[in-house]
Structure 1
Amino acid sequence: MRLDIILQIITYCTLLLTSYIPSVDSHIPSYVATPSNKNEQFCQLSDNCMHDTVRICGTMGDQKRTFLDMCDLLEFACDTNQIYTHVDEMEGCPEEPNYPPKGFE
């Protein structure tokens, strides 16, 4: 057989097989609802979060706070209904994480 015929057969078979592969629309199941507010969203995210113990700085207005990691920030936001935002620079954040959180002594 000639090489061009072999390439045509391979191309045809490839196109035929790829037409049977189902497409993926989303990795999120259709029954999952979007949280109605930021606190609810943080609570959902904290439920499945894996702690990596990489300290981060969070800010809420002018107040800065050091968290053990991103999961700690999400859990704190969920528990206290205070929405902190992760900031990259650690300047101005307390050296150590604030434990225990205010109101949880």
Structure 2
Amino acid sequence: MTSVHWTQEHLTFPVNYCDLAKACVHDNRMVCATTENNCIRRTFLDQCDMYEYNCDYHADFRKLTVQRSPCNGVPDYQC
């Protein structure tokens, strides 16, 4: 009889956006994201695009959780 070991997967910090980008499946649902200090906000084609951008440019954009539409029609900005 074989024993099964259950494991719980979780993210480790700092988040490896390159690994997330490789495993991500594009769904074309636009995402509004901001940096941790809220100084820069950008619209991405989807969450996978955000991961790819973070990987390529060593950025740390995170998806905004409260929104009606991507960035609510407000243009992207940078402080």
For 2:12 and 2:58, locate their aligned partners in 1 and report how far apart those are by CA, in whole Å. 14
Instruction: Verify: 1:59 aligned to 2:52, yes or no.
Output: no
* In 2: Cα distance, 1:56 partner to 1:22 partner: 42
Is the radius of gyration larger for structure 1 or structure 2?
1
Amino acid at match of 2:55: C
Question: 1:85 matched to which residue of 2?
Answer: 62
Q: Give the number of the structure whose residues are more often strand, by fraction.
A: 2
- Unaligned runs of 5+ residues in structure 1 are 1-19, 29-33, 99-105
Kindly indicate whether structure 1 or structure 2 has the higher relative contact order, using CA contacts under 8 Å at least 6 residues apart. Answer: 2
d(CA) in 2 for partners of 1:83, 1:58? 9
Paired residue total: 71
Equivalence for 2:6: 25
Q: CA RMSD in A?
A: 3.1
Matched residue, 2:18: 43
Identify unmatched segments of 5+ residues in structure 2: none
Structure 1 residue 25 displacement after superposition: 2.4
For the residues of structure 2 that align with 1:78 and 1:50, how far apart are their CA atoms?
16
Identity of aligned residues (%): 26
1:21 CA displacement: 5.7
Assess, with a 3 A threshold, how the Cα gap between structure 1 residues 82 and 94 changes in structure 2: closer, same or farther.
farther
**TM-score of the two chains, using structure 1 as the length reference:** 0.53
